[in-house]
Amino acid sequence: MSRKGELSKLRIKLDEAITYGVHREAVKLARQGLKEAEAKGLPGEVEYFKGQLELLNDNFHHAIEHFDAAIKHNPNDGAAYNDRALCMVELGIIDNAFFYFDKGIEAEPDYATIYHNKGWLLNNTGRYSEAIEYFKKALSLEPMRAVTYENLADALLNLSDYQGAEDAYKKVLELLKPGCYRDIKKQVMAKIKSIKKKLSHPKEEETRRKYK
């Protein structure tokens, strides 16, 4: 059973809680998912949610064991590949992380999160242009993903595309739910302010980059 199975809505809520750093809510949702999977007799989902709980507790080796078991039950479960890859990132095994992101894309090519996360890793390893392509692919599948616009903006900023970055950051503010994620909004607003300063003094910025 893939991400589109019986527990898909709960998985989406869990993914959002993890993405925005709401750890307590994520643990609660993972426990709920495990309980429902056990009650419904879904072994692949049981392993997936066990993996999530281990991941949330920073037990990455144990999490990988559960995600591998989930993949054996549900070979088209892109999320299990994705989260296995994230565990490998945490363990510093970067090349194999890319391998499992790619396996997940092959297994479930319409799963936006895995494109986003591969883009995030590409951006964090200095491969900015490649990262942008994966962020754009994620947004083509889920156009309302605020977190992907934020990461896209970061990649554009790394390439000194200040106007593109500013536009993407503004999209983040537009998409974030009113009254939620205040800390994230403050961070984004600070980045926009910094970009506006760079755009208003382009010669100073060019000189700074030249002698950096």
Would you kindly state where each structural domain of the chain is located, as residue ranges? Answer: 1-104, 110-202
The region of weakest confidence among 19-23, 78-82, 147-151 is: 19-23
- Beta-carbon neighbour count of residue 59 at 10 Å? 15
Q: Considering only CA atoms, which of 173, 205, 212 is closest in space to residue 192?
A: 173
Q: What pLDDT score was predicted for residue 211?
A: 46
71 DSSP 8-state letter: H
Instruction: Choose the CATH number for 110-202 among 3.40.50.11540, 3.90.1150.10, 1.25.40.10, 1.20.1050.140.
Output: 1.25.40.10
Q: What pLDDT score was predicted for residue 159?
A: 97
Q: What pLDDT score was predicted for residue 5?
A: 58
What is the model's pTM? 0.88
Angle between helices 8-19 and 23-40 (to 10 degrees): 160
CATH number of 1-104: 1.25.40.10
pLDDT band (50, 70, 90) for residue 3: very low
